[in-house]
Amino acid sequence: MTIVTRFAPSPTGRLHVGNIRTALHNWLYARKEGGRFLLRLDDTDTERSTEAFAEAIRADLVWLGLDMDGEERQSARFDHYEAAFARLRSAGRVYPCYETPQELELKRKVLLGRGKPPVYDRAALGLTEAQIAAFEAEGRQPHWRFKLDHGSPIAWDDLVRGPQHFDPALLSDPVIRREDGSWLYMLPSAVDDAEMGTTHVVRGEDHVTNTGLQLQMFEAMGASPPAFAHEALLVGSEGKLSKRLGSLGVESFREEGIEPMAVLSLLARIGTSDSVEPFVDTAPLVAGFDFAHFGRAPARFDLEELKGLNTKIVHQLDFGAVRDRLPEGVDAGGWEAIRPNLATLAEAADWWHVVEGPVDAVAFDEETAAFLDRAEAVAADLDWSGDVWHALTDALKAETGRKGRALFLPLRQALTGRDHGPEMAALLPLIGRERALARLGRHS
């Protein structure tokens, strides 16, 4: 059996961190099993779905490196849903309902007031032809519900949550089609999974009840259901569901200078028993992916943890991986020099400016200015083809008696305009003799 997973966003907005995590886990499982990962755009909401959002979703997946093996759009499959609907209607598994939203809400409040679960009472099944004719004469159009089989208990072995059981009599028959003929999520999704050969559905635990309802739809359609894995939802670092998680996505990550592998490294492992590590490629994430490692506790997403992970990943990137993203003039030696001081790749431009200049002049007292005058003279006579930094500091230490901070800090400040930064032994050759001499003598 070829494993087939799918990621099914609605193109009504940009992907957020929760969507990305779902996409990633579906992708990881497909890649581990040598299967297929499909993008399915759930764009039945024709008013809110846009091509711009669809293209943004594709671009976000490409940036993350989650390559797809195929794409489907629900808007191109309405005839499939009509055919399934007709078969279910003929089998007596869907039925029309004429209650208004206000009438349904009143029923719900009455049941809750009596301490009962707000389960739909199936009153529509008892309507006479005359009552239906009267409703239609009023201009009412029916919405349609899928009729659950109360004699068939719902059960499945969830790959994350373990054995799951529902009594269908305690669930409302789900609405699958609105009065205007448009589709809700439930039936089209089940039809697509059946016809596209989806073998595994990985999604959030907020879909557990939906899964129970859809299992009966698969059965009614004579289709084998996929296996389901319902993972715990993301929460913010404060331990609560965070509204900010809904705004964090690829766009915001890119603005923060976050590398795709930092996002993948964190989202692949939080909520599991596996440790979060700064991976520079996906191979270890694919090899280690296992639903048995997923926990039931909410998965905590911490932006600061992501930033720290990003820094560790940047420090591992070799020159070939970043060459095209570095400022002009940065070679392998330059990258090796500035890399340890970067939290994001974007900061490379700032440190390269320190090399090429101009840099801000620092005000020194007379004693330090005299020391730097001597440093300029010593530097002018050195062989710049060797380890010029240690040659310079060794000579100045022997001549002036300065050591430690008193020796190194004024040199760094004069040469870079900063109090800290990359190792000067690596940086000084990049600055070069002429620029270095000019900066050492600039105070006078």
Q: Binding site for ATP: residue ranges?
A: 243
Minimal CA–CA distance to 68: which of 81, 83, 58, 79? 58
* C-alpha closest to that of 359 among 400, 418, 305, 297: 418
The answer for residues whose C-beta is within 8 angstroms of residue 338's C-beta and 6 or more apart is 330, 348, 351, 352, 355, 422, 427
Q: Is 408 exposed, middle or buried (0-12, 13-18, 19+ CB in 10 A)?
A: middle
Q: Is 342 helix (H, G, I), strand (E, B) or coil?
A: coil
Length of the chain: 444
What is the SS3 assignment for 361?
A: coil
Pairwise CA distance, residues 175 & 143, whole Å: 7
The single-letter DSSP state of residue 385 is T
Which residues, listed in sequence order, are joined to residue 230 by a DSSP beta bridge? Answer: 203
**Of 291, 303, 355, 304, whose CA–CA distance to 326 is shortest?**
355
Binding site feature residues:
243
Query: Reduced to 3 states, what is the DSSP secondary structure of residue 275?
Result: coil
Beta strand 162-166 with 71-73 is unpaired
List all residues 6 or more positions away from 127 whose beta carbon is below 8 Å from its beta carbon: 98, 135
**DSSP structure class, residue 272:** B
Q: How many Å apart are CA 192 and CA 75, to the nearest integer? A: 12
SS3 360: coil
The label of the residue with tokens 């943890």 reads 305
**Cα distances (angstroms) measured from residue 85 to each of 90, 152, 179, 183:** 9, 21, 15, 10
Whole-angstrom CA distances from 142 to 136, 177, 178 are: 9, 9, 7
Q: Which residues contact 341 (CB under 8 A, 6 or more apart)?
A: 347, 351, 421, 422
CA torsion, ordered 359, 363, 367, 370, to nearest 10 deg? 40
| 200-204 and 234-236 strand pairing | unpaired
For 121: left if phi > 0, alpha if psi spans -120 to 50, otherwise beta; the answer is alpha
Q: CA gyration radius for the chain?
A: 32
